[in-house]
Structure 1
Amino acid sequence: MWNLIHGSPDDLRALSTGIHDRGIYLMVDAVANRMGYAGPSHHVDYSRVVQFNSNSYFHSYCPITNYDDQANVENCCLGDDTLSLPDVDTSRGIFNS
């Protein structure tokens, strides 16, 4: 999913071309909206997560099963039975202020 507030994919390509034409490198940073928990993804104790200590701050549990499906990647959990990375639900109003 692309956030048009920050421009379109074509805008990013144009920026990259313009920067590279001037001999400048472009560094792109991404923030993964995940929280680490030492335990299985389907049994996260959200009370132990600092600041976001309720499952209401996160998408419902679902494992990422298809990396070609953008919604599955953005809304589901990374991790396994040892370490889980629940996905923060950034569509909640508290994250937009």
Structure 2
Amino acid sequence: MMSCEKRRVFGAAFVLLQGVVTAVFPQLSVKLAKKMIGKNFDNASDLEANPAYIRQLRAVGVGMVAAGGTTLLLERPQETESGSPENGASDEGSTESAT
């Protein structure tokens, strides 16, 4: 079974990768949306994305990159900090008992 930290890292990496693809290749997201809409509606293949929609997709992709990257960057120091309070608390406790 994967630990919660590993799942969080995997999820952040997935969001980061999806954000990069969406920001760099927004037409792939448009094709996917057309395909999904086409299963329920007629003539969905005739739809065309406005330039504003493409810009919004790129902005969402950049936001996903920022969110995923921030999560990955903050995950590493959190692991090292979890060890230091324990060491700091035990050092303080030993200092107090010695004094």
Same fold (TM > 0.5) = no
Q: Which has the higher strand share?
A: 1
Structure showing greater relative contact order (alpha-carbon pairs closer than 8 Å, 6 or more residues apart): 2
Q: TM-score range by the shorter chain?
A: under 0.3
TM-score normalized with structure 1 length: 0.23
Q: TM-score, normalised by structure 2?
A: 0.23
- Rg larger in structure: 2
